[in-house]
């Protein structure tokens, strides 16, 4: 590995990665403003990314219906047709 400049990038799920500083981040990723060697970027990520779960899992407001903590089970015998 060389010590070429790298960037720390993050996606909408608040997952972090390193990316080459001379390239645009891939679609869905944006630069955080931190740059350095690959190792410096990895060290920075280790400091700031303390919860590895994606944001949609951590944040109750962005949870999907499939989340077991928010899933409602209906009895088909008592549910109306619009509940199904």
Asked if residue 79 is part of any domain, the answer here is: no
Asked if residue 38 is part of any domain, the answer here is: yes
Asked if residue 82 is part of any domain, the answer here is: no
Asked if residue 83 is part of any domain, the answer here is: no
Asked if residue 36 is part of any domain, the answer here is: yes
Structural domain count of the chain: 1
Cβ contacts of 26 within 8 Å, gap of 6 or more: 19
CA distance 34 to 19: 11
What's the gap between Cα 1 and its chain centre?
26
Domain span at residue 56 reads 6-70
Asked if residue 77 is part of any domain, the answer here is: no
How many other C-beta atoms lie within 10 A of the C-beta of residue 26? 10
Asked if residue 1 is part of any domain, the answer here is: no
pLDDT in tens, 38-83: 999 999 999 999 988 888 888 777 555 554 555 444 555 554 545 4
Under 8 Å between Cβ of 9 and 25: yes
pLDDT in tens, 13-49: 999 999 999 999 999 999 999 999 999 999 999 999 9
Residue in this structure with the two tokens 């999907």, named with its chain if needed? 64
Under 8 Å between Cβ of 28 and 15: no
Give me the CATH number covering residue 50: 3.90.820.10
CA distance 12 to 30: 9
């Amino acid at each position: 590995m060389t010590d070429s400049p790298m960037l720390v990038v993050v996606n909408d799920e608040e997952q972090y990665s390193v990316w080459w500083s001379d390239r645009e981040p891939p679609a869905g990723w944006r630069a955080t403003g931190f740059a350095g060697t690959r190792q410096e970027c990895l060290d920075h990520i280790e400091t700031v990314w303390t919860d590895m779960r994606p944001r949609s899992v951590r944040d109750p407001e962005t949870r999907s219906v499939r989340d077991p903590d928010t899933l409602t089970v209906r009895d088909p015998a008592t549910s109306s047709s619009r509940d199904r």
